[in-house]
Amino acid sequence: MFAALETRANYLCAGILIGTVVVGKMFGGALKGLIPLGMCLASGVYLWMKEVVRSGREVEWDSEQVRGQMVRVY
């Protein structure tokens, strides 16, 4: 589940980078400004998605620990 989410996030980041450069170039932007802008946007989304995956795995691990503790009790 998390691997698929990471793969989709990678595709999304690539799309954001390419989309920012292409749309910015269509409106007359300079590449030396559009490429860093696209990289900043894509890296922000990438880091956000990594945090979502990390916290999801942590919640999953915590629920497994609770389940293990409940099994020991009964």
Determine the distance from the C-alpha atom of residue 11 to the mean position of all C-alpha atoms in its chain, rounded to a whole number: 10
Q: Please write the tens of the pLDDT for every residue from 21-63.
A: 999 999 999 999 999 999 999 999 999 999 999 998 888 877 7
Cβ-based neighbours of 59, under 8 Å, separated by 6 or more: none
Residue 6 binned pLDDT confidence (cut-offs 50, 70, 90): very high
Inform me whether the pLDDT recorded for 68 exceeds 80: no
Look up the pTM and report it. 0.77
